[in-house]
Copies of this chain bind each other. A is one copy, B any other.
């Protein structure tokens, strides 16, 4: 059974939803059926042993009654009925399945037996399935999340693939926040108990997808031996891999055990190997989002951590400097010649009160042109690997064009491009600056000063994987 070819799951032409209700429009199976019927290109069929109609559409009593070859069956019925239904799918020649139902290994030994039964059936019919105890997947082709679209916040299409052990974390901590930060997603999966399809398979699958550049994981513990395999595989891959681990603490491990039957003991053993394999570990939910933003923009890594910070507020310069100490980044000291160049590049009234040490504080007397000039200089400095611009655009001498003006500079800079990251207050009125900065993925925008330093930190972690270009 090839568990690495997941096209029938992520790009099905046809699918059945087993477990709809003809009476309750907010019944989970009915939600999945209606969502795909009206919002996705997949051809979708409803199945319930009682038959009937949903808004005039046939509900088939048996999976074998569905009048087409099925790529995917989504199963959302009582746990004890699932093995038989999976058997029915196998008999009917269905190519893949997602078992949404809970009540398996996460519920103890009886559930564990049911789960083993599912695996047996899958091998018997060469029928790979995702789950159980999961909310399934989202792609441009299909969406099996058991939640109405109006409750969800869906990110734009893009180059990031997401694999989460938790459905709640996938929807709320990842996809909602990616929506908020406009991080583009190619496909997302909640693998739940991962009885059969594991992180390894999804890593292999997304590694082969040319439209995926970054693969993001939320993991509460690997199954026996798969942790090591995961790290080995990641090490060989050119794509960027970011992981948030849940259940690392004593309290968390206990909670993870009852949540997805996660085995926490193996977990800490392999954690230290992540860095060596070039896997970027996010420690907090916020880091997961900021790291993914920076990485999905395709920014080059940095190696020494030597950065420049360009601020127009002294306080922001101070806060960012403190954060550099925490995140082990080095605001490089400028030479006297560099300081002189910076001094000469800004208007005299700003120059008179500005600070040209690193972090630079151009003060509130700054103009668009001053910021442009400084950024161009910093990009040309040999001792600077990357630049953080702290853009506090409250002074009227900074225009709404500043975003576009800075992204033009970055786009026109010669390769290998140095990464530039911006902080901008997250106010609706400054949305046009954010759009300008992020145009053509030139400069990712962080919404706190800490996030901007986090983003640079993550490029530094990435630098551990790649040798410095000579």
Contact = CB atoms under 8 A, between A and B. Distances in A.
Interface stretch (A4-12, A196-204, A356-364): A356-364
A394 B450 CA distance: 29
A20 to B, nearest CB: 15
Interface in A226-252: 246-252
Interface in A367-391: none
Contacts of A326: 249
A168 B313 contact: yes
A332 to B, nearest CB: 11
Contact of A147 (B31, B321, B395): B395
Contact of A450 (B167, B285, B427): B285
Interface in A413-459: 425-427, 429, 448-450
A102 B353 contact: yes
A251 B315 contact: no
A31 B180 CA distance: 34
Instruction: List the number of copies, as a whole number.
Output: 2
A167 B254 contact: no
A273 interface: no
**Max chain B Cβ within 10 angstroms of own Cβ: one of A318, A331, A364:** A318
A48 to B, nearest CB: 18
22 contacts: A26-B397, A150-B429, A153-B425, A164-B315, A167-B315, A168-B364, A168-B392, A171-B394, A172-B394, A247-B322, A250-B325, A251-B325, A252-B319, A255-B321, A255-B357, A255-B361, A256-B318, A258-B361, A259-B318, A260-B314, A285-B448, A286-B450
A130 interface: no
A218 interface: yes
Contacts of A180: 426-427
B313 A166 contact: yes
A284 interface: yes
Interface in A271-294: 284-286
Contacts of A146: 364
B427 A176 contact: yes
Contact of A318 (B166, B316, B331, B394): B166
A396 interface: yes
Interface string A156-175: 00000000111111111100
Interface in A120-168: 146-148, 150-153, 164-168
A81 to B, nearest CB: 15
Interface string A16-45: 000000000010000100000000000000
Given A153-B427, A357-B258, A252 B321 contact: yes
B316 A169 contact: yes
A107 interface: yes
B322 A246 contact: yes
Contact of A169 (B319, B357, B361): B319
Contacts of A355: 255, 258-259
A215 interface: no
A317 interface: yes
A101 to B, nearest CB: 10
Nearest to A286: B448
A449 B312 contact: no
A202 to B, nearest CB: 17
Given A151-B393, A363-B102, A394-B152, A169 B313 contact: yes
A324 interface: yes
B147 A394 contact: yes
A221 B345 CA distance: 31
A322 B258 contact: no
**Max chain B Cβ within 10 angstroms of own Cβ: one of A164, A220, A285:** A285
A103 interface: yes
A331 B251 contact: yes
Contacts of A249: 321-322, 324-326
Closest 5 CB pairs of A and B: A168-B313, A166-B315, A249-B325, A259-B314, A169-B315
Contacts of A172: 313, 316, 392, 394, 425
A252 B325 contact: yes
Contacts of A218: 315
A340 to B, nearest CB: 17
